[in-house]
């Protein structure tokens, strides 16, 4: 199943949009305005966040919003315009956990085509174990690998990232992980 949030009206003129192949040889159906003929492209959304650690423990946030209210997640959210992926990951970590940290390298890239998303998680080093969660978070706390609430994680992307993080941390060699969630 392909994810599509249908475009019904043109963003340029407000005319009705229909899905068809553009006249320029494109091979995918696009929303095309019936009035001004503007072609509207729909692209995946980027979700950005961190695997923020203090020693052998990682920061998880208990969600205070849907979807998956009350489930645990890495601090993450949708990337905003005018920011880099690492800036977005840092902003989300601050907004959701109120954490003090230093952002590190990109750690995982997860393609989630059935919901039209790409998730990017950066490693981060926590500078304190004190948190000041924002309104989207019920609780922010640190977990060691054996304390992770695996059955109460909000998203598969979080589980896949954590599994690889703890595996890499055992060897001390952190790679870049590219994962397809199909």
Domain with 155, as residue range(s), is: 45-180
pLDDT in tens, 53-96: 999 999 999 999 999 999 999 999 999 999 999 999 999 999 99
Say yes or no to pLDDT of 131 above 90.
Answer: yes
**61, 119: one domain:** yes
- The answer to pTM > 0.85 is yes
Percent of the chain with pLDDT strictly greater than 90? 95
Residue closest to 28 by CA, chosen among 39, 37, 12: 39
39-42 contacts: CB < 8 A, separation 24 or more?
40/7, 40/10, 40/11, 42/4, 42/5, 42/7, 42/116
**53, 31: one domain:** no
**28, 76: one domain:** no
Say yes or no to pLDDT of 5 above 80.
Answer: no
Q: Give the number of domains in the chain.
A: 2
Confidence (pLDDT) at 179 = 98
Sheet strands (E) in the chain: 17-20, 30-33, 39-40, 45-54, 57-63, 72-73, 76-78, 101-112, 117-126, 137-143, 177-180
**65, 36: one domain:** no
**37, 50: one domain:** no
Confidence (pLDDT) at 4 = 59
Q: Using CA atoms, how far apart are residues 90 and 100, in angstroms rounded to an integer? A: 10
Residue 1 banded pLDDT, cuts 50, 70, 90: very low
């Amino acid at each position: 199943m392909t994810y599509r949030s249908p475009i019904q009206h043109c963003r340029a003129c407000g005319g009705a949009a229909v899905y068809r192949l553009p006249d320029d040889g494109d091979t995918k159906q696009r929303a095309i305005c019936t009035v001004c003929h503007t072609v509207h492209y729909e692209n995946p959304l980027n979700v950005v966040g961190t695997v923020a650690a203090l020693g052998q423990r990682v920061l998880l946030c208990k969600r205070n919003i849907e979807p998956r209210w009350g489930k645990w997640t890495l601090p993450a959210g949708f990337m905003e315009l005018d920011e880099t992926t690492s800036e977005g990951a840092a902003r989300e970590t601050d907004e959701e956990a109120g954490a003090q940290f230093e952002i590190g390298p990109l750690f995982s890239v997860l393609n989630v085509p059935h919901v039209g998303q790409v998730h990017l998680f950066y490693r981060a080093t926590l500078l304190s174990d004190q948190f000041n969660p924002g309104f989207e978070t019920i609780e922010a706390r640190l977990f060691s690998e054996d304390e992770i609430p695996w059955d109460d994680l909000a998203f598969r992307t979080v589980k896949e990232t954590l599994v690889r993080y703890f595996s890499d941390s055992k060897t001390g060699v952190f790679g870049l992980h590219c994962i397809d969630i199909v």
